[in-house]
Chains A and B, each alone.
Chain A
Amino acid sequence: MDNNKIKISSLQLGILIVVTIMGVGILAVPRIVVQDVGSDGWLLILIGGGFSLIATMIIHALGSRFPNKQFFDYTTELIGKPLASIVVIVYTLYFIPICAFIIRIFGEVLKMYLLPRTPIEVIIITFLLALAYLIRQGLEAIVRFYEIMLFLMIIPFLLSLLAGTYKVDYTNLLPVFQSSPLDMMKSSLQLFLSFLGFESALLFIPYVADHKNTKKSMIIAISFVTVIYLFTTMLVISTFGVDETGQLIWPLMSYVKAIEVPGSFIEQLEGIIMTIWVFFAYTTSSTLYFSGSITLSKLTGVKDYRVYVMLILPIIYILALLPGNIAEVYDWDSRVSIYLGATVAFIIPLLLLVVSILRKKGEKTHG
């Protein structure tokens, strides 16, 4: 990609962050939050959102010191070629497997609820081809696609969820502040993983045309996702209670199934939600896939990332099909996200920021 030609707006960056974070995870978020801390769970979302906000600010601070340089270029400048290569490898090893697991979970849910007889291999390969098609068009096409999708995703999604609000027991959200702060911290680290996706902003900050608004739109993006997560989690817990929510693999899907629309005019909203959710999965995995092919092209020094789009497709395909069952997928996913996710989204940007401040490289952060 040519750095000078491609420009996106800060709003588009914000949208990219929103649609990347909200993906397959949203179906499982209510389960993750209640698992360890019970009815305190929905408070975790606020803590998790706070964590992500801090991490995003670090990424922004780092990016704004080098407004016209690519992430890996200034990494090399900061810590030298050998170390920078390791950083690039870490990012590649993160983006590609995570993308694969997301696609696998997507395939499993789709097979479960919508296409019971279609082989999962076919679901995954068609999905991957559709992804590759979009990614080859480049960053500008991707963000423009996201801009359209955001409205098509969020509005019907919220409307369908609202249909269930009239008959839930909100006292299920009580009691609060019962678990120890240590437990809360531990679980919010788990939840932090559901917010992953914003780290891809590292790659895209250099393309933003109006630099001074970047920070604002990143903050808005993270807050927006936090509010949506909070809303859905509170609804699901109010409907099912803590115990049942903890038992369901995809509590949000079950919530949608349990919605009783007054007057029985429409029954069974899961068809609608399923359709929208395909886009949730699509936007998330396309950002990760895109980031994966960019990092790989940096690693090998090839200018055009497009070469890699088709090359890593079989790798993602194989990785996606490797886990034997759904429990194994979530197991691998959480292992990769815990060790690598926290590293790429938090530790590496923080270290780089410290180094750049100490070595006085880059411009001073403004704002």
Chain B
Amino acid sequence: MAKKILMLLLVCLLLLNTGCWDKQDIEERALVLGIAFDKPPEEELARQRENASEPEHFSPRYSITYIHPLASTVVGKGAGEDTFSSMTITTRSPKEAEREMNTRIDLQLFFGHTDLILFGEDVLKNEEYMKEMMDYLHRNQNINWDAKVAVVQGRAKDVFEMKPTGANLLVPYVVGIMENRRVSSKVSHVTLTQMLTELGQRGTVVLPKINLGKDEVKVEGAAIIQNFKFRGYFTGQEARSLMFLKGTLQGGGIVTKYEDTLISYTIVNSKLEKKLKTTEDGLQMIFKLRTEGQLDEGTYNLDLMDDKLIKTMEKSVAEEITKDAMETIKKLQREYKADVIRVGSYIQKFHPKIWKQVEKDWEEVFSSMDIQVQTDARIRRVGVVE
């Protein structure tokens, strides 16, 4: 009998002790939904330096903003109250900012559900800062690798302070716009995994760009990071061409001129094929784009049930795509010498012998390379009127 009681006590002890060390209630956690990295503006620095408790240690390089929901208001009170809290910390390093946060709020930061990571354009202009931030994000074991990454023209922090009309939840609102890449060809979408992988390979990556409006944000265009440094922006149209050339375009529309009228073409499906040719002048790279889609706007006078007409329209759509793509390629080759359309990795994978010859001065080879685009656009459907 005594033995049985002892056993029972031991079992109870086991149950009571399970997981006690790492127990954490959800309301003790600050689920950081978004992080914004900025360079602190000079005037603010000057002001803070005067008030700093240890002025000799005050040499901040980043200003980092975290946004997290307030558990108490999400559960308890009604509308009208702020459901999110955003706090900005000015520090020397990203990890230090995290620790600094813990001295100001009674919660513990948790990055497992982070959905959005934004970079202000200024902070990306410094190579050292960029590498430091990348290492911080890479090394962090908790961070959500699925988080979306974007560059903000201006200050990234302002995105978190904006109150969008019609949308209550800020981070899901911004992420939701990025998810629209399925219907808009101007919106791109890069996850933390993709960014870290591409930066790790070549130090070059193209990130979506966020433009700030008064009560809204606009995701359009892209920013190019080369050798861990911000170099410049692409317009929405160029960003679309880049997506075409990378084979990541998921949908969206193209408006082009046909004779005197404008026609609008919606891409439903796009495919990319690459080919390398060795000619007398050197290497020639051919991008073959194939798109399928629907014509949404013609003009009232045209009879779109005419196959010949559709064929000529297909041609003008294809020409438009080719023209845009060629312009973007020229810009990449001349202005940046940046191979973000993965010509190099294509050669490395499928023509390893050629790659060994050109690997050393790839930037030069790329910038003087002959790159051709061939587009085959198909109009499959024309809507419901003739």
Contacts and interface: CB of A to CB of B under 8 A. Distances in A.
Interface string B188-220: 000101001100110000000000000000000
Contact of B21 (A115, A174, A240): A115
Interface residues of A, number: 28
A122 B21 contact: yes
A39 B345 CA distance: 12
A175 interface: yes
B350 interface: yes
Given A244-B200, A244-B201, A268-B112, A175 B352 contact: yes
A103 B384 CA distance: 67
A178 interface: yes
Q: What's the interface size class on B, roughly?
A: 10 to 19
A83 to B, nearest CB: 47
Given A178-B352, A241-B201, A244-B200, A112 B141 contact: yes
B350 A175 contact: yes
A248 to B, nearest CB: 9
Nearest to A176: B352
A268 B196 contact: no
A257 B145 contact: yes
Nearest to B113: A267
Contacts of B352: 175, 178
Given A115-B22, A118-B21, A258 B145 contact: yes
Given A118-B21, A244-B196, A175 B191 contact: no
A30 to B, nearest CB: 14
Nearest to A115: B22
Nearest to B138: A247
Contacts of A254: 145
Contacts of A239: 193
A268 B22 contact: no
A257 to B, nearest CB: 5
Contacts of B200: 243-244, 247
Interface in B141-199: 141, 144-146, 191, 193, 196-197
A258 B349 CA distance: 23
A116 interface: yes
Contacts of B196: 244
A5 interface: no
Contact of A116 (B22, B144, B193): B22
A112 B27 CA distance: 22
Contact of B146 (A39, A122, A241, A258): A258
B316 interface: no
A113 interface: yes
A359 interface: no
A49 B348 CA distance: 28
A113 B141 contact: yes
Nearest to A253: B141
Contact of A267 (B21, B146, B201, B348): B146
A244 B192 CA distance: 13
A171 interface: yes
A366 interface: no
Contact of A175 (B112, B193, B349): B349
A18 to B, nearest CB: 29
Interface in A139-174: 171-172, 174
A113 B196 CA distance: 20
Contacts of B146: 257-260, 267
A258 B144 CA distance: 8
A267 B143 CA distance: 13
B249 to A, nearest CB: 15
Given A115-B22, A175-B349, A244 B197 contact: yes
A75 B89 CA distance: 69
Interface string B1-38: 00000000000000000000110000000000000000
B349 A243 contact: no
A38 to B, nearest CB: 10
Nearest to B351: A175
A235 to B, nearest CB: 14
Nearest to A112: B141
A102 to B, nearest CB: 20
B252 to A, nearest CB: 19
B22 A240 contact: no
Interface string A254-284: 1001111000000110000000000000000
A247 B201 CA distance: 11
Nearest to A177: B352
Contact of A240 (B112, B191, B197): B197
Contacts of B350: 171, 174-175
Output the residue of B22, B141, B191, B201 with the most chain A CB within 10 A.
B141
Interface in B343-361: 348-350, 352
A329 B113 CA distance: 31
A209 B73 CA distance: 66
Interface in B315-368: 348-350, 352
A247 B144 CA distance: 18
Contacts of B348: 175
Nearest to A116: B22
Interface string A206-246: 00000000000000000000000000000000011101100
A223 B142 CA distance: 35
Interface string A88-121: 0000000000000000000000001111111100
B24 to A, nearest CB: 9
Interface of A: 39, 112-119, 122, 171-172, 174-175, 178, 239-241, 243-244, 247, 254, 257-260, 267-268
Interface of B: 21-22, 112-113, 141, 144-146, 191, 193, 196-197, 200-201, 348-350, 352
Closest 4 CB pairs of A and B: A174-B349, A118-B21, A175-B352, A258-B193
22 contacts: A113-B141, A115-B21, A116-B22, A117-B21, A118-B21, A118-B22, A171-B350, A172-B349, A174-B350, A175-B348, A175-B349, A175-B352, A178-B352, A239-B193, A240-B193, A241-B197, A243-B201, A244-B196, A257-B146, A258-B145, A258-B191, A259-B146
Given A171-B350, A175-B348, A257-B145, 15 more contacts: A39-B349, A112-B141, A115-B22, A116-B22, A117-B22, A172-B349, A175-B349, A175-B350, A243-B197, A244-B196, A244-B200, A247-B200, A254-B145, A258-B193, A260-B191
